[in-house]
Amino acid sequence: MNILILSAGTRNKIVQYFKKELNGKGLVVATDCSKLAPAIYEADKYYIVPRIDDKDYLNCILDICIKEKINGLISLIDPELSLISENIVKFKEIGVTPIISEHKNVEMCFNKYKMYQFLVENGIRTAKTYIDKNEFYKDLEKENMKFPVFVKPIEGSASININKVYNKDELELLWKKENNLLIQQFMDGEEFGADVYIDMISNEISAIFTKKKIKMRAGETDKSVSIKDEKLFSIIKGFVKKAEFKGIIDIDIFKVNGEYYISEVNPRFGGGYPHAYESKVNIPKMIINNLEGKINNEQIGDYEEDIYMMKYNEVKILR
Protein backbone atom coordinates (compact mmCIF):
# COMPACT_ATOMS: atom_id res chain seq x y z
CA MET A 1 0.00 0.00 0.00
CA ASN A 2 1.91 3.05 -1.25
CA ILE A 3 0.67 6.64 -1.01
CA LEU A 4 1.85 9.54 -3.18
CA ILE A 5 1.56 13.07 -1.76
CA LEU A 6 1.93 15.71 -4.44
CA SER A 7 3.22 19.25 -3.84
CA ALA A 8 4.02 18.43 -0.23
CA GLY A 9 5.54 21.86 0.45
CA THR A 10 5.45 22.65 4.16
CA ARG A 11 2.72 20.14 5.04
CA ASN A 12 5.03 17.97 7.15
CA LYS A 13 2.25 16.80 9.47
CA ILE A 14 0.23 15.27 6.62
CA VAL A 15 3.24 13.19 5.54
CA GLN A 16 3.90 12.15 9.14
CA TYR A 17 0.27 11.10 9.68
CA PHE A 18 0.21 8.85 6.60
CA LYS A 19 3.51 7.23 7.60
CA LYS A 20 2.16 6.59 11.08
CA GLU A 21 -1.09 5.04 9.81
CA LEU A 22 0.63 2.85 7.23
CA ASN A 23 2.87 1.63 10.06
CA GLY A 24 5.34 -0.12 7.81
CA LYS A 25 2.84 -1.81 5.48
CA GLY A 26 3.58 0.61 2.67
CA LEU A 27 5.54 3.68 1.63
CA VAL A 28 4.75 7.37 1.60
CA VAL A 29 6.27 9.02 -1.46
CA ALA A 30 6.27 12.83 -1.74
CA THR A 31 6.92 15.27 -4.56
CA ASP A 32 7.62 18.96 -4.90
CA CYS A 33 9.19 21.25 -7.49
CA SER A 34 11.65 22.55 -4.88
CA LYS A 35 14.31 20.67 -2.94
CA LEU A 36 13.68 23.20 -0.15
CA ALA A 37 10.17 21.88 0.52
CA PRO A 38 10.63 20.52 4.06
CA ALA A 39 7.77 18.00 3.94
CA ILE A 40 9.44 15.82 1.29
CA TYR A 41 12.15 14.88 3.79
CA GLU A 42 9.52 13.35 6.08
CA ALA A 43 8.57 10.83 3.37
CA ASP A 44 10.07 7.38 2.75
CA LYS A 45 11.05 8.53 -0.75
CA TYR A 46 10.77 11.82 -2.59
CA TYR A 47 11.03 13.22 -6.11
CA ILE A 48 11.83 16.72 -7.33
CA VAL A 49 9.45 17.29 -10.24
CA PRO A 50 8.73 20.07 -12.78
CA ARG A 51 6.28 22.84 -11.96
CA ILE A 52 2.65 21.87 -12.47
CA ASP A 53 2.36 24.14 -15.52
CA ASP A 54 5.16 22.28 -17.29
CA LYS A 55 3.94 20.28 -20.32
CA ASP A 56 5.68 17.14 -19.02
CA TYR A 57 4.36 17.39 -15.48
CA LEU A 58 1.44 14.96 -15.73
CA ASN A 59 3.51 12.29 -17.48
CA CYS A 60 6.19 12.70 -14.82
CA ILE A 61 3.66 12.01 -12.06
CA LEU A 62 2.18 9.04 -13.95
CA ASP A 63 5.70 7.59 -14.34
CA ILE A 64 6.34 7.95 -10.59
CA CYS A 65 3.07 6.19 -9.88
CA ILE A 66 4.10 3.23 -12.05
CA LYS A 67 7.67 3.09 -10.73
CA GLU A 68 6.64 3.24 -7.05
CA LYS A 69 3.53 1.04 -7.42
CA ILE A 70 1.34 3.81 -6.01
CA ASN A 71 -2.16 2.87 -4.81
CA GLY A 72 -3.55 6.25 -3.72
CA LEU A 73 -2.69 9.85 -4.51
CA ILE A 74 -3.46 13.21 -2.91
CA SER A 75 -2.49 16.76 -3.80
CA LEU A 76 -2.11 19.56 -1.28
CA ILE A 77 -2.31 22.67 -3.51
CA ASP A 78 -5.27 24.16 -5.35
CA PRO A 79 -3.88 24.65 -8.90
CA GLU A 80 -2.93 20.98 -9.11
CA LEU A 81 -6.34 19.69 -8.04
CA SER A 82 -7.94 20.70 -11.33
CA LEU A 83 -5.24 18.84 -13.28
CA ILE A 84 -5.56 15.68 -11.19
CA SER A 85 -9.37 15.65 -11.24
CA GLU A 86 -9.37 16.21 -14.99
CA ASN A 87 -7.18 13.11 -15.43
CA ILE A 88 -8.74 10.71 -12.90
CA VAL A 89 -9.24 8.09 -15.63
CA LYS A 90 -5.54 8.11 -16.58
CA PHE A 91 -4.59 7.40 -12.97
CA LYS A 92 -7.20 4.68 -12.53
CA GLU A 93 -5.95 2.97 -15.71
CA ILE A 94 -2.61 2.36 -13.96
CA GLY A 95 -4.22 1.28 -10.67
CA VAL A 96 -4.02 4.60 -8.81
CA THR A 97 -6.98 6.10 -6.95
CA PRO A 98 -6.83 9.91 -6.67
CA ILE A 99 -8.51 10.92 -3.39
CA ILE A 100 -10.46 13.80 -4.89
CA SER A 101 -13.92 14.87 -6.00
CA GLU A 102 -15.07 14.77 -9.61
CA HIS A 103 -13.69 17.49 -11.90
CA LYS A 104 -16.96 19.46 -12.02
CA ASN A 105 -17.01 19.68 -8.24
CA VAL A 106 -13.38 20.77 -8.05
CA GLU A 107 -14.01 23.50 -10.62
CA MET A 108 -17.07 24.70 -8.69
CA CYS A 109 -14.95 25.01 -5.56
CA PHE A 110 -12.48 27.25 -7.38
CA ASN A 111 -15.10 29.51 -8.92
CA LYS A 112 -16.61 31.52 -6.06
CA TYR A 113 -19.58 32.69 -8.11
CA LYS A 114 -20.48 29.17 -9.28
CA MET A 115 -20.30 28.03 -5.65
CA TYR A 116 -22.54 30.95 -4.64
CA GLN A 117 -25.08 30.02 -7.33
CA PHE A 118 -25.09 26.37 -6.23
CA LEU A 119 -25.65 27.30 -2.59
CA VAL A 120 -28.49 29.71 -3.41
CA GLU A 121 -30.18 27.23 -5.78
CA ASN A 122 -30.12 24.59 -3.04
CA GLY A 123 -31.44 26.83 -0.27
CA ILE A 124 -28.19 26.94 1.71
CA ARG A 125 -27.32 30.21 3.46
CA THR A 126 -24.26 32.01 2.08
CA ALA A 127 -22.93 35.56 1.72
CA LYS A 128 -24.72 37.65 -0.93
CA THR A 129 -22.42 37.85 -3.96
CA TYR A 130 -22.33 39.98 -7.13
CA ILE A 131 -20.32 39.85 -10.35
CA ASP A 132 -22.17 42.88 -11.74
CA LYS A 133 -21.26 45.95 -9.68
CA ASN A 134 -24.33 47.79 -10.97
CA GLU A 135 -26.56 45.15 -9.39
CA PHE A 136 -24.67 45.72 -6.15
CA TYR A 137 -25.21 49.49 -6.43
CA LYS A 138 -28.95 48.94 -6.93
CA ASP A 139 -29.13 46.89 -3.72
CA LEU A 140 -27.00 49.51 -1.99
CA GLU A 141 -29.53 52.23 -2.90
CA LYS A 142 -32.39 50.02 -1.67
CA GLU A 143 -30.43 49.48 1.56
CA ASN A 144 -30.43 45.73 0.93
CA MET A 145 -26.62 45.88 1.12
CA LYS A 146 -24.10 48.09 2.87
CA PHE A 147 -20.38 48.76 3.09
CA PRO A 148 -17.93 47.32 3.95
CA VAL A 149 -17.84 44.46 1.46
CA PHE A 150 -15.15 42.10 0.26
CA VAL A 151 -13.86 42.40 -3.29
CA LYS A 152 -12.02 39.29 -4.41
CA PRO A 153 -11.08 37.33 -7.55
CA ILE A 154 -13.80 35.01 -8.86
CA GLU A 155 -11.13 32.32 -8.95
CA GLY A 156 -8.39 32.30 -6.35
CA SER A 157 -7.10 30.78 -3.12
CA ALA A 158 -5.04 31.46 0.02
CA SER A 159 -6.77 34.84 0.52
CA ILE A 160 -4.70 36.35 -2.31
CA ASN A 161 -5.92 39.74 -3.64
CA ILE A 162 -8.87 39.91 -1.25
CA ASN A 163 -9.71 43.48 -0.24
CA LYS A 164 -12.11 44.83 2.36
CA VAL A 165 -13.74 47.84 0.69
CA TYR A 166 -15.45 50.67 2.56
CA ASN A 167 -16.85 52.92 -0.20
CA LYS A 168 -17.64 53.29 -3.92
CA ASP A 169 -14.36 55.05 -4.74
CA GLU A 170 -12.32 52.13 -3.43
CA LEU A 171 -14.53 49.64 -5.25
CA GLU A 172 -14.26 51.51 -8.58
CA LEU A 173 -10.48 51.71 -8.24
CA LEU A 174 -10.19 47.95 -7.78
CA TRP A 175 -12.67 47.28 -10.60
CA LYS A 176 -10.52 49.29 -13.03
CA LYS A 177 -7.30 47.72 -11.81
CA GLU A 178 -8.28 44.01 -11.94
CA ASN A 179 -10.48 41.75 -14.06
CA ASN A 180 -12.84 38.95 -13.03
CA LEU A 181 -13.72 40.30 -9.60
CA LEU A 182 -16.77 39.78 -7.46
CA ILE A 183 -18.32 41.67 -4.56
CA GLN A 184 -19.23 39.69 -1.47
CA GLN A 185 -21.25 40.66 1.57
CA PHE A 186 -19.11 41.18 4.66
CA MET A 187 -20.07 38.54 7.21
CA ASP A 188 -19.75 40.19 10.61
CA GLY A 189 -19.70 37.13 12.82
CA GLU A 190 -17.70 34.14 14.03
CA GLU A 191 -15.70 32.00 11.61
CA PHE A 192 -15.71 28.20 11.67
CA GLY A 193 -14.11 25.40 9.67
CA ALA A 194 -15.05 21.80 8.95
CA ASP A 195 -12.84 18.89 7.92
CA VAL A 196 -15.04 16.35 6.14
CA TYR A 197 -14.31 12.91 4.67
CA ILE A 198 -16.71 11.34 2.18
CA ASP A 199 -16.09 7.62 1.75
CA MET A 200 -14.69 6.85 -1.73
CA ILE A 201 -16.60 3.55 -1.89
CA SER A 202 -19.99 4.21 -0.28
CA ASN A 203 -20.08 7.96 -1.12
CA GLU A 204 -21.43 8.54 2.40
CA ILE A 205 -19.92 10.96 4.91
CA SER A 206 -17.51 9.14 7.22
CA ALA A 207 -16.35 12.03 9.40
CA ILE A 208 -17.06 15.66 10.21
CA PHE A 209 -14.81 17.69 12.51
CA THR A 210 -15.75 21.31 13.23
CA LYS A 211 -13.75 24.04 14.89
CA LYS A 212 -14.14 27.69 15.75
CA LYS A 213 -11.33 29.74 14.27
CA ILE A 214 -9.57 31.96 16.76
CA LYS A 215 -6.76 33.35 14.62
CA MET A 216 -6.02 33.25 10.87
CA ARG A 217 -2.76 33.80 8.99
CA ALA A 218 -2.36 33.92 5.17
CA GLY A 219 -5.75 32.28 4.70
CA GLU A 220 -4.99 29.37 7.03
CA THR A 221 -6.18 28.61 10.55
CA ASP A 222 -3.46 29.43 13.08
CA LYS A 223 -5.44 28.86 16.29
CA SER A 224 -8.77 27.10 16.75
CA VAL A 225 -10.94 25.20 19.23
CA SER A 226 -13.05 22.10 18.55
CA ILE A 227 -16.82 22.51 18.76
CA LYS A 228 -19.87 20.31 18.21
CA ASP A 229 -23.26 21.54 17.03
CA GLU A 230 -25.89 19.18 15.60
CA LYS A 231 -27.38 22.07 13.63
CA LEU A 232 -24.06 22.64 11.87
CA PHE A 233 -23.53 18.90 11.27
CA SER A 234 -26.98 18.76 9.64
CA ILE A 235 -26.22 21.72 7.34
CA ILE A 236 -22.90 20.16 6.28
CA LYS A 237 -24.48 16.75 5.63
CA GLY A 238 -27.20 18.28 3.45
CA PHE A 239 -24.73 20.41 1.51
CA VAL A 240 -22.25 17.58 0.90
CA LYS A 241 -24.98 15.21 -0.24
CA LYS A 242 -26.40 17.73 -2.72
CA ALA A 243 -22.96 18.65 -4.08
CA GLU A 244 -21.84 14.99 -4.35
CA PHE A 245 -18.32 15.60 -3.07
CA LYS A 246 -15.86 12.73 -2.56
CA GLY A 247 -12.77 12.24 -0.43
CA ILE A 248 -11.42 15.01 1.77
CA ILE A 249 -12.86 18.53 1.75
CA ASP A 250 -12.36 21.59 3.96
CA ILE A 251 -15.31 23.96 4.42
CA ASP A 252 -15.22 27.61 5.55
CA ILE A 253 -18.32 28.71 7.49
CA PHE A 254 -19.56 31.89 9.17
CA LYS A 255 -22.04 32.22 12.01
CA VAL A 256 -24.04 35.46 12.07
CA ASN A 257 -26.95 36.10 14.45
CA GLY A 258 -27.19 32.41 15.30
CA GLU A 259 -27.31 31.21 11.68
CA TYR A 260 -24.58 29.36 9.78
CA TYR A 261 -23.47 30.49 6.31
CA ILE A 262 -21.28 28.32 4.09
CA SER A 263 -18.57 30.40 2.46
CA GLU A 264 -16.05 28.35 0.50
CA VAL A 265 -14.87 24.77 0.00
CA ASN A 266 -11.33 23.49 -0.53
CA PRO A 267 -11.42 19.99 -2.10
CA ARG A 268 -8.28 18.86 -0.23
CA PHE A 269 -6.76 18.70 3.25
CA GLY A 270 -7.12 22.14 4.80
CA GLY A 271 -4.21 23.84 6.54
CA GLY A 272 -5.94 23.28 9.89
CA TYR A 273 -6.43 19.51 9.46
CA PRO A 274 -3.82 18.64 12.16
CA HIS A 275 -6.39 19.89 14.69
CA ALA A 276 -8.80 17.17 13.56
CA TYR A 277 -6.17 14.40 13.54
CA GLU A 278 -4.89 15.27 17.00
CA SER A 279 -8.53 15.19 18.16
CA LYS A 280 -8.76 11.54 16.93
CA VAL A 281 -10.50 12.26 13.60
CA ASN A 282 -8.24 9.99 11.56
CA ILE A 283 -8.83 10.76 7.88
CA PRO A 284 -5.51 9.24 6.66
CA LYS A 285 -6.67 5.93 8.17
CA MET A 286 -10.05 6.29 6.41
CA ILE A 287 -8.24 6.87 3.11
CA ILE A 288 -6.10 3.78 3.64
CA ASN A 289 -9.21 1.75 4.50
CA ASN A 290 -10.83 2.81 1.21
CA LEU A 291 -7.70 1.93 -0.76
CA GLU A 292 -7.84 -1.53 0.86
CA GLY A 293 -11.46 -1.90 -0.25
CA LYS A 294 -12.97 -1.26 3.20
CA ILE A 295 -15.94 1.05 3.78
CA ASN A 296 -15.55 3.37 6.78
CA ASN A 297 -18.07 3.56 9.59
CA GLU A 298 -19.70 6.94 10.23
CA GLN A 299 -17.82 8.97 12.86
CA ILE A 300 -19.55 12.35 12.66
CA GLY A 301 -18.75 14.40 15.75
CA ASP A 302 -16.74 11.56 17.29
CA TYR A 303 -14.29 13.77 19.18
CA GLU A 304 -14.09 15.97 22.28
CA GLU A 305 -15.06 19.63 22.41
CA ASP A 306 -12.76 22.38 23.69
CA ILE A 307 -9.55 20.93 22.26
CA TYR A 308 -7.35 23.81 21.17
CA MET A 309 -4.88 23.88 18.29
CA MET A 310 -1.97 26.34 18.25
CA LYS A 311 0.46 26.36 15.32
CA TYR A 312 4.08 27.29 15.84
CA ASN A 313 7.27 27.36 13.74
CA GLU A 314 9.64 24.44 13.26
CA VAL A 315 13.01 24.39 11.47
CA LYS A 316 14.45 21.70 9.18
CA ILE A 317 18.13 21.83 8.19
CA LEU A 318 19.42 20.47 4.86
CA ARG A 319 23.15 19.87 4.32
Q: How is 57-118 classified by DSSP, letter by letter?
A: HHHHHHHHHHHTT--EEEE-SHHHHHHHHHTHHHHHHTT-EE-S--HHHHHHHH-HHHHHHH
Q: What is the mean pLDDT of residues 230-238?
A: 98
Give the three-state DSSP class for 26: coil
Terminal alpha carbon distance of the chain:
31
- For position 277, what pLDDT does the model report? 98
Are residues 131 and 174 in contact, defined by beta-carbon separation less than 8 angstroms?
Answer: no
pLDDT at residue 247 is higher than 60: yes
- Percentage of residues of the chain with pLDDT beyond 90: 94
The pLDDT of residue 160: 67
The sheet with strand 97-98 has its strands ordered as: 45-48, 28-32, 3-6, 72-75, 97-98
Q: Tell whether the model's pLDDT for residue 40 goes beyond 60.
A: yes
Amino acid, res. 226? S
Q: How confident is the model at residue 159 (pLDDT cuts 50, 70, 90)?
A: low
| pLDDT for 218 beyond 90 | no
Task: Tell me what pLDDT residue 157 has.
Answer: 65
Going by C-beta distance under 8 Å and a sequence separation of 6 or more, which residues neighbour residue 231? Answer: 260
Average pLDDT over residues 147-174: 89
pTM of the model: 0.95
The mean pLDDT of the chain is 96
Task: Find out whether 192 and 227 touch, Cβ atoms under 8 Å.
Answer: yes
Q: How much is the pLDDT for 216? A: 82
Structural domains in the chain, CATH included, are 3-98 (3.40.50.20), 128-185 (3.30.1490), 188-310 (3.30.470.20)
Rounded to whole angstroms, how far apart are CA atoms 23 and 8? 20
Summarize the confidence of residues 287-309 as an average pLDDT: 97
| pLDDT in the model for residue 162 | 87
For the cut 80, the answer to whether the pLDDT of residue 183 exceeds it is yes
pLDDT band (50, 70, 90) for residue 158: low
